[in-house]
């Protein structure tokens, strides 16, 4: 699908963006692969890792998704857009709400407008489990972003750009997550690891799994879906003990805006949710979507009206052995 295609990745210097670009370069033969981000240092570092002399498809475009005109310029002749740029640190969003709104909501609007104006074929926007029943500002802005991308299909018309969303849980080892912080403490000789709450659970996914799910989703997307992978859950305590089996745990309390457990499909979304072998989709409640838009011939089945996909009650749990494998593969 990506062979001879022009692909743009917003937030292309982030954890996901770098791994996605590496995967595409290894598996496909794109015509252009554009890194769009605002950090010139990270772009310079990526140019060392993926030089244009060795990877002639690579392009590096400095810009901010808050700037619609720059976004539109970057998307000229682009076929596919992977929207990974976001302000995602929950406490930072609580203390800097307007900045989070500008990037995550207004930035989403700019991506939609630029994609339609430039005739992009498909856009996949990365979301988060925190967008389901959000209690923090980050989750609320990502819920608004999801709504903007789904509604973008109304704006683009029947033969225009198709917009879809991918929602998944915590990425093991991603920049800014707790695991690299714990690993740093362990490397410094600490025998005590801080945890927020011993009951806390999360959905977990590796970076490679996330990248592959996005690639699969953009291949299958017809526009308007929210794709949700079936993921294992684990307690934060179990992750800490997998990293340092005999560690002492110091409970420091839940940070501003954090949930005790995460949800990826709410009960209110159950009536719009279809289940497939290894993922769910939440269908859009718009007239352009018909019963056969996605599920026709593909085996999707409706979930129960009281279905809820929650990390606390998820039947798929990571065993200690699986946790070790997860951490190694991350």
User: What token pair was written down for 6?
Assistant: 């022009």
Tokens of 64: 């901010």
Tokens, residue 78 = 């682009």
133 burial (CB, 10 Å; 0-12 / 13-18 / 19+) is: middle
Is 18 an annotated catalytic residue?
A: no
Do the strands 279-282 and 273-275 form a parallel or antiparallel pair, or are they unpaired? antiparallel
What secondary structure letter does DSSP report for 317?
B
Cα distance between residue 85 and residue 11, in whole Å: 4
3 state SS of 324: helix
Q: Where are the alpha helices (DSSP H) in the chain?
A: 15-27, 40-49, 68-74, 90-95, 97-101, 107-118, 137-156, 178-187, 207-220, 236-243, 320-329
Question: Contact at 8 Å (CB) between 82 and 10?
Answer: yes
What are the phi and psi torsion angles at 22 (to 5°)? -60, -45
Query: Catalytic residue among 18, 122, 130, 310, which?
Result: 130
Strand order in the sheet with 273-275: 58-62, 32-37, 6-10, 80-83, 122-126, 162-166, 226-229, 279-282, 273-275, 301-302
For strand 226-229 and strand 192-195, is the pairing parallel, antiparallel, or unpaired? unpaired
Do β-strands 162-166 and 226-229 pair in parallel, antiparallel, or remain unpaired?
Answer: parallel
Q: How many CB atoms lie under 10 A from the CB of residue 135?
A: 11
Rounded to an integer, what distance in angstroms lies between the CA atom of residue 251 and that of residue 194?
6
Enzyme catalytic residues: 130
């Amino acid at each position: 699908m990506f062979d001879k295609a022009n692909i743009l990745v917003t937030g292309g210097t982030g954890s996901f963006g770098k791994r996605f670009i590496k995967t595409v370069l290894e598996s496909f033969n794109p015509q252009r692969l554009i890194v769009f981000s605002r950090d010139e240092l990270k772009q310079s570092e990526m140019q060392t890792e993926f030089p244009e002399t060795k990877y002639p498809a690579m392009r590096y475009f400095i810009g901010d998704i808050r700037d619609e005109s720059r976004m539109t310029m970057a998307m000229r002749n682009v076929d596919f857009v992977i929207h990974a740029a976001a302000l995602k640190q929950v406490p930072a969003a609580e203390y800097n709400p307007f900045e989070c709104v500008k990037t995550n909501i207004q930035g989403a609007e700019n991506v939609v407008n630029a994609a339609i104006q430039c005739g992009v074929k498909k856009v996949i926007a990365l979301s988060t489990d925190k967008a389901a029943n959000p209690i923090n500002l980050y989750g609320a802005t990502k819920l608004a972003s999801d709504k903007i991308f789904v509604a973008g299909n109304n704006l683009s018309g029947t033969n225009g750009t198709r917009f879809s969303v991918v929602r998944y849980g915590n990425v093991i080892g991603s920049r800014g997550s707790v695991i690299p912080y714990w690993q740093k403490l362990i490397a410094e000789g600490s025998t005590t690891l801080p945890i927020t709450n011993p009951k806390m659970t999360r959905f977990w996914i590796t970076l490679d799994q996330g990248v592959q799910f996005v690639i699969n989703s953009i291949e299958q997307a017809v526009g308007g879906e929210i794709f949700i992978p079936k993921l294992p859950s684990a307690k934060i305590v179990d992750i800490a003990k997998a990293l340092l089996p005999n560690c002492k745990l110091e409970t420091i309390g839940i940070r501003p805006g954090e949930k005790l457990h995460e949800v990826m499909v709410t009960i209110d979304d159950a009536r719009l949710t279809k289940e497939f072998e290894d993922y769910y989709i939440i269908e859009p409640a718009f007239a352009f979507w018909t019963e056969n838009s996605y599920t026709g011939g593909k085996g999707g089945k409706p979930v129960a009206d009281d279905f809820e996909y929650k990390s606390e009650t998820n039947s798929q749990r990571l065993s200690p052995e699986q946790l070790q494998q997860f951490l190694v593969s991350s």
